[in-house]
Amino acid sequence: MIAMKTRMILCLLLLGLFPAVKSQTYQATEENLKSRQEFRDNKFGIFLHWGLYSMLATGEWTMTNKDLNYQEYAKLAGGFYPSKFDAAKWVAAIKASGAKYICFTTRHHEGFSMFHTRYSDYNIVDATPFKRDILKELATECHKQGIRLHLYYSHIDWYREDAPWGRTGRGTGRPDSKGNWSSYYQFMNNQLTELLTNYGEIGAVWFDGWWDQDQNPDFDWQLPEQYAMIHRLQPACLVGNNHHQLPFPGEDIQIFERDLPGENRAGLSGQDISALPLETCETMNGMWGYKITDSDYKSAKTLIHYLVKAAGKDANLLMNIGPQPDGELPALALDRLAEVGEWMKIYGETIYGTRGGEVAPHPWGVTTQKGNKMYVHILDLQDKVLLLPLGDKKIKKAVCFADQIPLKYEQYKGGIVLYLTEVPTDIDKVIELTMKE
């Protein structure tokens, strides 16, 4: 009986008559697998949250937090003229930080498209006096300066009447809570097609907003078809979704928000860790979109520690900046980019292309690994002696990474003891171990 049932399902599968099951069996293409490896190697990206909300200067959620009427809110577009926007400058500053990719908000929850779309006039070219396709300029510069471009795309839209209401955006005055899903879904797929057709090679599409329907478990976002469409248009393009769950079929990376994989201080993470490439995003100050009163930027040391700890957990760091309404990146953000860049110039080798090391993260720091090299990143140690639980792995050599000066060590049962010359005070004291094969 069971055998017959299994055979029947198999037949249906072969005939392609079982779409729900079929979508569970997503097989990444060669190009996609290669792109996942590159993504893993790249380790560090910069997130840019930019939209009309930058003019209100209180973050990207103001429209719903203040229950702003959607038709009134849309009038911001008529005054949006970021006269100082210079994609070449942005990309150069970001590249100099050592970041290998930029993730740009093409359309955030407010619903305004920061690119030229045929499917709505509510976009940067048709609705503003600026009339320039910001995404186009950014894409051109990214391709020219050799940095990957990822696209953030919101599943939520607090402006469109056809977007079904979720638990946010209820006070924006849109007339019908049900919206019109098929119209909205088509709109999103049309836009995604534009994004993956008109802007050259796209490294990833970064979805956000799935959680808006978490009180409505039967809601079907129809993700498998959308993901398949992306992979059809650009097979190497990675799909990620900030749903705070284990990855769904069709996704190529696992995203964490404001926490390292396995941690949950901000309350949005803590989900299990999958075998897919990992990325966690964090803000440089306290907000994603530009916030005029928030100049409380994390120190370069904190940012570097976050990046190193992410690498130690085999994850990428996507660090956010909220550009100003005049088109410039905040001066403090530019300072941090430069400081992190100085550090990456020296230590990038111990980060890029590495995987989380065999020694699990400890309160003193983390390890990363590449080939037969293990990099011990000492972030916080009030001692000159460090016990490294390496099991029965043997090492050939231990040097201080920065000056390549050999370091005294002893092999013991269960690992090695490293003898530092002094209690480390560096942002990150990196010890390079050469492992015995």
| CA-based nearest residue to 90, from 139, 128, 54, 133 | 139
Q: At what angle do helices 331-347 and 87-96 cross, to 10 degrees?
A: 40
CB of 157 to ligand GLC, least distance (A): 13
Name the one residue in this structure whose structure tokens are 């090695």.
416
Whose Cβ is closer to ligand GLC: residue 207's or residue 347's? 207
Torsion angle defined by CA atoms of residues 187, 191, 196 and 198, in that order, rounded to the nearest 10 degrees:
140
Cβ contact 143:201 at 8 Å:
yes
Whose Cβ is closer to ligand GLC: residue 53's or residue 187's? 53
Whose Cβ is closer to ligand GLC: residue 60's or residue 194's? 60
Q: What gap in Å lies between CA 240 and CA 206, rounded to an integer?
A: 5
According to CB under 6 A, which one of 73, 288, 290, 401 is a site residue for ligand GLC?
288
Largest Cα–Cα separation, the chain:
72
Whose Cβ is closer to ligand GLC: residue 203's or residue 341's? 203
Does residue 60 touch ligand GLC according to CB under 6 A?
Answer: yes
CB of 61 to ligand GLC, least distance (A): 6
CB of 317 to ligand GLC, least distance (A): 12
Q: Which secondary structure element, helix H or strand E, spans residue 258, and what is its range? A: none
Residue 98 backbone dihedrals phi, psi, to 5 degrees = 95, -5
Cβ contact 397:418 at 8 Å:
no
Cβ contact 64:111 at 8 Å:
no
CB of 372 to ligand GLC, least distance (A): 36
Whose Cβ is closer to ligand GLC: residue 80's or residue 288's? 288
Binding residues for ligand GLC, total number by CB under 6 A: 8
Whose Cβ is closer to ligand GLC: residue 281's or residue 319's? 281
Whose Cβ is closer to ligand GLC: residue 158's or residue 343's? 158
CB of 281 to ligand GLC, least distance (A): 5
Torsion angle defined by CA atoms of residues 62, 67, 71 and 77, in that order, rounded to the nearest 10 degrees:
-10
Which parts of 34-53 interact with ligand GLC (CB under 6 A)?
A: 49
Whose Cβ is closer to ligand GLC: residue 51's or residue 164's? 51
Name the one residue in this structure whose structure tokens are 């500053």.
93
Residue 288: strand, helix, or coil: coil
In terms of DSSP H, where are the helices of 241-349? 300-312, 331-347
CB of 297 to ligand GLC, least distance (A): 17
In the stretch 164-203, what mask flags binding to ligand GLC with x, by CB under 6 A?
----------------------------------------
CB of 287 to ligand GLC, least distance (A): 9
Which parts of 203-262 interact with ligand GLC (CB under 6 A)?
A: 208, 242, 257
Give the angle subtended at the CA of 85 by the CAs of 84 and 86, to the nearest 5°: 110
Whose Cβ is closer to ligand GLC: residue 158's or residue 347's? 158
Q: Is the dihedral of CA 318, 357, 263, 242 positive or negative?
A: positive
Q: What gap in Å lies between CA 422 and CA 213, rounded to an integer?
A: 54
CB of 210 to ligand GLC, least distance (A): 9
CB of 206 to ligand GLC, least distance (A): 8
CB of 231 to ligand GLC, least distance (A): 23
Positions of E strands within 220-335: 238-241, 254-257, 278-283, 315-321
209's tokens: 């907003």
In terms of DSSP H, where are the helices of 198-299? 223-233
Whose Cβ is closer to ligand GLC: residue 154's or residue 369's? 154
Q: What is residue 297's DSSP assignment?
A: P
Residues that bind ligand GLC (CB under 6 A): 49, 60-61, 208, 242, 257, 281, 288
